[in-house]
Amino acid sequence: MITTDPIADFLTRIRNAINARHRVVEIPASNLKKELTVLLYEKGYIASYKFEDNATQGIIKIALKYNSLTKKSAIVSLTRVSKPGLRKYVKNTELPRVLNGLGIAILSTSKGVITDKEARTLNVGGEVLCFVY
């Protein structure tokens, strides 16, 4: 299946799995999706991940993270910002803050896929891919 916006498909699959209370979600792999997955794991939004390579494309298996007492997901919202029809680029002085610093903005920069906090320390701007909180 070919999608016009693979990042939106990635976010939607995770969002749908959270709404259905699934523990694991499988997503077709790409290098950008792998970088997003690693970033979500490092920031504590997902429990674990596994990259499986098969003959064609590969699969990313993501174990979602839930609070054991309240049964709520660690991810409250995933919002796509830059879309194929309207790209959103920001300078290093205009980096967005999500929920006044409680969430993260994921950016694609010349230094790779990084969060808004890392972009501030590296003093780089780029394309705002999504907001996560």
Q: Has residue 1 been placed in a domain?
A: no
Q: What is the pLDDT of residue 54?
A: 83
Residue 50 within any structural domain of the chain: yes
Same domain (yes/no): 59, 82? no
User: Which domain does 104 fall in, by range?
Assistant: 78-132
Q: What is the pTM of this model?
A: 0.93
Q: What b/e readout covers 41-76, taking b as 16+ CB neighbours within 10 angstroms? A: beeebbeebeeeeeeeeeebebebbbeeeeeebbbe
Q: Provide the pLDDT confidence category of residue 102 given band limits of 50, 70 and 90.
A: very high
Query: How many of the other CB atoms lie within 10 Å of CB of 125?
Result: 17
Same-domain status, 11 and 59: yes
**Would the pLDDT of 55 be above 80?**
no
- Is the pLDDT score of 69 beyond 80? yes
| In a domain? residue 72 | no
pLDDT at position 1, please? 62
Residue 71 included in any domain: no
pLDDT in tens, 39-49: 999 999 999 99
Task: Let me know if residue 96 belongs to a domain.
Answer: yes
Q: Is 70 within the bounds of a domain?
A: no
